[in-house]
């Protein structure tokens, strides 16, 4: 394991130990399986492949994993075995040095909202090392019944179309739904009622509380031509402006992407089912076929670690390869 001295801070504008250039550089490495961790005010990166098994066990106080877009029921050339690749993701999670405390599934659990599809995902996830799984719906999970089945299965104690929040080790998690009541020609949408709820939900939290928001469609505008954005997310983010650390975890686009804007780090996860093309690199955002031996290298999970007192959460993507 080699330390990279060139990542030392050059400009610590926010006095939070995060150098924007270094952070962005680190995020680029994350896509290839790197671990970026804040240690003593310096952002350091380590290649995952070179690491011994018990790395960073003590470093993380809170560890969780994000998976996304399992699309159970999909059965086309891009991946004829979404069961197998979801199981491979579970194996990957179970092989992590630090077992995650829980999972976040950022939606499109099923492909056609069929009961058997949900059942299969639930069954596969019982083998995961994490104790709990928290979900948000994707547009494929709320077909035919305005999301009633999704609510019953995954969000019984939620409000509205399935939004809720919870706390873990001092980190506040906010689950948002931006896939219902979609308007013609539009993007994802949160809606007045949910936005008002967000405002009230965070009203009394200390500014130093780290916030993690998770929702299916990206909360920043990745590529509007393909509907990759949320119309009214700016309002939600405005309610979070006072917080020093906000991490936004999304899915929907079936590829990893990161963006840092002020106090907010945006991150999208890979799918466990099939990849989609990079923005504008194909006619449409549909399933992208790759040679079968490459499939696992374009699917993946996201490991997130939080160390109390540190500012940014360490977000690490790894593929199923």
- Contact residues toward another protein (CB under 8 A) are 76-78, 111-113, 139-140, 143-144, 182-187, 224-227, 283-287
In Å, how far from its chain's centre is CA 232? 19
Q: Looking at the DSSP assignment, which residues form a beta bridge with residue 213?
A: 174, 248
- Start-to-end CA distance of the chain, whole Å, equals 21
Q: In the complex, what is the shortest distance from the CB of residue 26 to another protein, in angstroms, rounded to a whole number?
A: 33
Identity of the residue, 110 or 318, whose beta carbon is nearer to another protein in the bound complex = 110
Identity of the residue, 58 or 184, whose beta carbon is nearer to another protein in the bound complex = 184
Identity of the residue, 157 or 284, whose beta carbon is nearer to another protein in the bound complex = 284
Identity of the residue, 20 or 114, whose beta carbon is nearer to another protein in the bound complex = 114
Half-sphere exposure of 28 (CA within 13 A, CB side): 5
Among 250, 287, 275, 302, CA closest to 67: 302
Q: In the complex, what is the shortest distance from the CB of residue 278 to another protein, in angstroms, rounded to a whole number?
A: 15
Q: In the complex, what is the shortest distance from the CB of residue 273 to another protein, in angstroms, rounded to a whole number?
A: 12
What is the bridge-based pairing of β-strands 171-175 and 211-214?
parallel
Q: In the complex, what is the shortest distance from the CB of residue 175 to another protein, in angstroms, rounded to a whole number?
A: 21
Identity of the residue, 133 or 136, whose beta carbon is nearer to another protein in the bound complex = 136
E strand map for the chain: 34-39, 42-47, 62-67, 102-105, 132-135, 164-168, 171-175, 211-214, 246-250, 257-261, 264-268, 300-306, 314-319
Q: In the complex, what is the shortest distance from the CB of residue 286 to another protein, in angstroms, rounded to a whole number?
A: 5
Identity of the residue, 100 or 285, whose beta carbon is nearer to another protein in the bound complex = 285
Identity of the residue, 144 or 208, whose beta carbon is nearer to another protein in the bound complex = 144
Q: In the complex, what is the shortest distance from the CB of residue 77 to another protein, in angstroms, rounded to a whole number?
A: 8
CA distance 48 to 34: 5
Q: Which two tokens stand for residue 81?
A: 């075995």
Q: In the complex, what is the shortest distance from the CB of residue 201 to another protein, in angstroms, rounded to a whole number?
A: 27
Angle of CA points 208, 213, 218, to nearest 5°: 135
For residue 197, give the H/E element and its range: helix 192-202
């Amino acid at each position: 394991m080699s330390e990279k001295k060139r990542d030392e801070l050059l400009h610590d504008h926010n006095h939070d130990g995060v150098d924007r250039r270094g952070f962005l550089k680190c995020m680029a490495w994350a896509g290839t399986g790197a671990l970026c961790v804040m240690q003593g005010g310096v952002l350091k990166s380590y290649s995952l492949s070179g690491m011994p098994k018990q790395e960073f066990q003590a470093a993380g106080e809170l560890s969780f994993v994000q998976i996304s877009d399992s699309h159970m029921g999909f059965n086309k050339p891009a991946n004829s075995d979404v069961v197998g690749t979801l199981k491979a993701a579970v194996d990957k999670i179970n092989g992590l040095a630090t077992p995650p405390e829980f999972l976040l599934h950022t939606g499109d659990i099923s492909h056609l909202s069929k009961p058997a599809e949900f059942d299969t995902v639930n069954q596969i996830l019982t083998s995961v090392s994490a104790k709990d799984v928290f979900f948000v719906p994707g547009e494929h999970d709320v077909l035919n019944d305005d999301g009633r089945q999704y609510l019953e299965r995954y969000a019984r104690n939620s409000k509205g179309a399935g939004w809720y929040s919870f706390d873990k080790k001092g980190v506040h998690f906010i689950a948002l739904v931006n896939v219902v009541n979609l308007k013609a020609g539009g993007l994802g949408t949160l809606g007045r009622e949910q936005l008002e709820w967000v405002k009230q939900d965070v009203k009394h939290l200390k500014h130093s509380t780290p916030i993690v928001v998770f929702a299916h469609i990206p909360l920043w505008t990745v590529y509007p031509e393909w509907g990759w954005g949320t119309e009214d997310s700016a309002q939600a983010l405005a309610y979070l402006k006072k917080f020093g650390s906000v991490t936004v975890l999304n899915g929907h686009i079936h590829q990893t992407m990161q963006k840092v804007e002020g106090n907010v780090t945006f991150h999208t996860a890979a799918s466990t089912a099939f990849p989609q093309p990079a923005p504008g690199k194909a006619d449409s955002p549909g399933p992208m076929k790759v040679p079968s031996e490459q499939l696992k290298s374009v699917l993946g999970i996201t490991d997130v670690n939080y160390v109390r007192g540190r500012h940014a959460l360490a977000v690490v993507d790894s593929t199923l390869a």
